[in-house]
Structure 1
């Protein structure tokens, strides 16, 4: 029995891998085809196209790659229609997956979308398109479920797997031992994103910020976990351009969770990594930069004052957000140092972030699997 599945970036690859493993436990013999990254391939997905081709964010950035992405979707649709999977699961990447899901649904292939587009933050007019594209929506956050129910879209809240995987114990000591770091040294994690396009925007500012922090916080060490050779090359090029070869900075291949657990504070590009830092109960500064036109368009359609997931879930500014033109190295460095050295923040924030973890911990893979089983067990 074939299941189609598409993820467009590292966070979706993580979700997809856990879902594949859970589905295989309940329905042995399933074959998974589509597009995914190394984690999904490690669980047995036959990925027909490189996932990195889809990892583009923002209007201007997508336009630059439109023909290539459109061509991949067209070829993928043909192969899926030929394979006739019992079920298709699109994981996040709504601009790629929703049009594909709509075509497959029209052809009689059930389509489930895993991870809601940010309707609660912007582009709320998409709900009608979603209703025509999916047979069910699996959402990660509790405030999303009533939005779909009100619109008549079948929905299930499944929680977030990162919350399931995060220990209740403080993992700082173990992570530092794993990375061979001193327990006394101040450690700052820099997470500039997973997509090549966003790392190009974020890396120069992150490097300059690290230089300022290093000058003001002697002995600080920086950890930079990156997901691919390509993103590592982009970041190292930014270091070279900034003359930052002497920075006390270690670039890691993967190990994002270890870097977050080991750090005293994180500077994080807005995205799933902010949730990872929140679940680890770490102080952080959230930032983001993108093409100016993209930012102006998104700002006009935004309906919430926050962009970072911890703040959105909490409904308040738990941690600082410094975006676009305000995201100068000086502003970022000062915010990181404030978070690093403020005893009030370090005392109060962990408990507030722990509330987020308790809210999202729902045994996600098992819940999602139960929701999908009727399609996979029917005759």
Structure 2
């Protein structure tokens, strides 16, 4: 362990451009302290989420060198200059991108770091409270609708005025996972006419449960772990043709379709964009893996065929207060799973959550550790 026999949890400042979240918030520090843990926060770690050092101190944390802690909590993966700051034998937890950044994972293991990637946590009932992918996707889905509403040159709700009645905007959400359902629910609250689509037919009921219509294209692609499987070439061609025809009837299209470890499927073609109403908006939440729209430029906002195409890469960071709070709850649950009743590190690799989330062993054997 670090300085004393008491296990330390470190919360470091994020260095990735645009990242404003923090991995632990003050209201959850007391919970870890009660488990016998000592919390150390790097100065300025909460600045992006409007959390000053003094707030962490009042909650029971110490401001200091968080990189030397036994368990280091992060949001984004550590940068090249940050890797040497991690102590050999320590545990790192965060969004580590194990499928796309295998070299960094190898470096962590070589440095003797045991790493847990929150995106690798099994999507099982027992792990729901640790599901950071879902909590942050919910934030992204909500924010995506606000982004679209700001750029659409029309009202979202139907408005009746002395000058006439304005019809509601028509919003289509592609992908009915957590982000998609949150987008549909938010657009509905803003008064839009909403429609959802997913290649998994069993989610049609969930789409309708948030007040949206279901777009049935007659294609099913049920995969493992709650994700859609990759479509065959024939299925993809049929899906795109039907989608292209349908998209022309919507003012806003929000795309959320991802296949883990693969490039995002193209759902909105250039032809589909061309068929949208002038002033239409596409918000592509799959930009990090290439995007669902053929005309997407990841991280940028472009206009094509008089349609605005936005591809934000980190929407949760634009709502750092609540995004950090949700993420901190996820990490707190995971930390508590990794620590025994006496406040000691106890990695039980017979537990499917621990085993599934671990992406680097750092010299440890999968036999458990106390």
TM-score bucket (shorter structure): 0.3 to 0.5
Structure number with the bigger relative contact order (C-alpha 8 A, sep ≥ 6) is: 2
Question: What's the TM-score, normalizing by structure 2?
Answer: 0.35
Question: What's the TM-score, normalizing by structure 1?
Answer: 0.35
* Structure with bigger gyration radius: 2
